[in-house]
């Protein structure tokens, strides 16, 4: 039986996401979150809630949504190439839903999107966790594509890291900077990414 969610936690996440959408991650303050909740900062302080804790909560929510979005691609029938395209399209969808949060985290993160090998010791645990959530599902699909012959890559793990960053951040740049419609940006970015790793058709 699913664990019941704390109603206050639900309201807190909704309020925090509303603040991020309106003011960006840099504009996320406990005062604004409290105002969105219809209360005061005292209520949050009494519960031991800090700004850092709120940022961690909304980042965890975005990560969970990403995992749910990719699950159909991981479990669906089809070639590795077909499922990879589906997964990268889902990546764009989640990026679009949480654009202001993700761009804020990218600009001021504590290791959330850092590569494991290059992360400093104090950020290594976060980088390892990030890889398991964001990169490993794509690496799995690349390995499936290698096995069925639909994809060709030299290093599935490294390519997965490149694809996650290439697709997610380029999509956001086109949406936020160039003001492209979501579907146009998704097709352009995902199409180019998959073409780069797809096995050539037999003559």
Residues 109 and 138 in one domain: yes
All residues at 6 or more sequence positions from 11 whose CB lies less than 8 Å from its CB, including other chains: 37
Residues 121 and 192 in one domain: yes
Res 1: pLDDT: 41
Q: Which two structure tokens, joined as six digits, stand for 160?
A: 């997965």
In a domain, 70, yes or no: yes
Q: In this model, does residue 29 exceed pLDDT 60?
A: yes
Res 128: pLDDT: 47
Please state, as a whole number, how many other Cβ atoms lie within 10 Å of the Cβ of residue 152. 15
Residues 176 and 80 in one domain: yes
What is the span of the domain harbouring residue 160? 60-197
Model-wide pTM > 0.85: no
C-alpha distance from residue 6 to each of 1, 132, 143, 191, 202 (Å): 15, 27, 39, 41, 55
Q: Do 117 and 178 touch, CB atoms closer than 8 A?
A: no
- 13: CATH: 1.10.10.60
Res 2: pLDDT: 45
> For residue 179, what is the DSSP state?
-
Residues 44 and 72 in one domain: no
In a domain, 54, yes or no: no
Residues 179 and 134 in one domain: yes
| Whole-number average pLDDT of the chain | 86
In a domain, 83, yes or no: yes
In a domain, 203, yes or no: no
Q: In this model, does residue 201 exceed pLDDT 80?
A: no
- 188: CATH: 1.10.357.10
| pLDDT more than 70, % of the chain | 85
Residues 69 and 115 in one domain: yes
Instruction: Please count the structural domains in the chain.
Output: 2
In the structure, what pLDDT confidence band is assigned to residue 143 with cuts at 50, 70 and 90?
A: very high
For residues 168-177, give the mean pLDDT.
93
| pLDDT more than 90, % of the chain | 55
Residues 76 and 116 in one domain: yes
Res 198: pLDDT: 97
> Which own/partner pairs from 46-53 qualify as long-range (CB within 8 Å, at least 24 positions apart)?
47/8, 49/12
Please state, as a whole number, how many other Cβ atoms lie within 10 Å of the Cβ of residue 106. 15
Q: Is 60 left (phi over 0), alpha (psi -120 to 50) or beta?
A: alpha
Residues 13 and 99 in one domain: no
Q: Which of 30, 49, 68 is the last residue of a domain?
A: 49
Reported as a single tens digit per residue, the pLDDT across 58-91 is 888 888 899 999 999 999 999 999 999 999 999 9
Res 76: pLDDT: 94
In a domain, 88, yes or no: yes
Res 99: pLDDT: 87
Q: Which of 28, 49, 70 is the last residue of a domain?
A: 49
In a domain, 192, yes or no: yes
| Among 67, 72, 65, 73, residue whose Cα is nearest residue 97 | 65
Distance CA 23, CA 26 (A): 7
Cα angle for residues 189, 118, 110 (degrees, 5° grid):
80
Reported as a single tens digit per residue, the pLDDT across 95-113 is 999 888 888 877 665 445 5
In a domain, 55, yes or no: no
Distance CA 177, CA 191 (A): 20
Residues 72 and 134 in one domain: yes
Residues 133 and 165 in one domain: yes
| Among 167, 202, 203, 169, residue whose Cα is nearest residue 188 | 167
Distance CA 9, CA 3 (A): 13
């Amino acid at each position: 039986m699913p664990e019941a969610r704390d109603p206050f936690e639900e309201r807190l996440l909704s309020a925090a996401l509303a603040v991020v959408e309106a003011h960006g991650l840099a504009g996320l303050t406990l005062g604004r979150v409290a105002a969105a909740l219809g209360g005061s900062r005292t209520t949050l302080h009494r519960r031991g809630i800090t700004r850092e804790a709120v940022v961690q909560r909304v980042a965890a929510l975005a990560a969970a949504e990403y995992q749910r979005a990719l699950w159909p691609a991981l479990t669906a029938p089809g070639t590795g190439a077909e499922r990879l395209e589906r997964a990268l399209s889902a990546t764009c969808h989640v990026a679009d839903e949480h654009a202001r949060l993700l761009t804020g985290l990218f600009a001021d993160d504590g290791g959330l999107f850092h590569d494991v090998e290059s992360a400093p010791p104090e950020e290594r645990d976060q980088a390892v966790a990030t890889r398991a959530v964001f990169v490993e599902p794509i690496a799995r699909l690349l390995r499936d594509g290698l096995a069925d012959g639909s994809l060709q890559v030299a290093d599935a793990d490294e390519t997965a890291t490149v694809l996650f960053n290439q697709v997610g951040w380029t999509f956001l740049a086109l949406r936020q900077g160039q003001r492209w419609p979501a579907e146009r940006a998704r097709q352009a970015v995902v199409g180019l990414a998959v073409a780069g790793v797809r096995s050539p058709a037999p003559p």
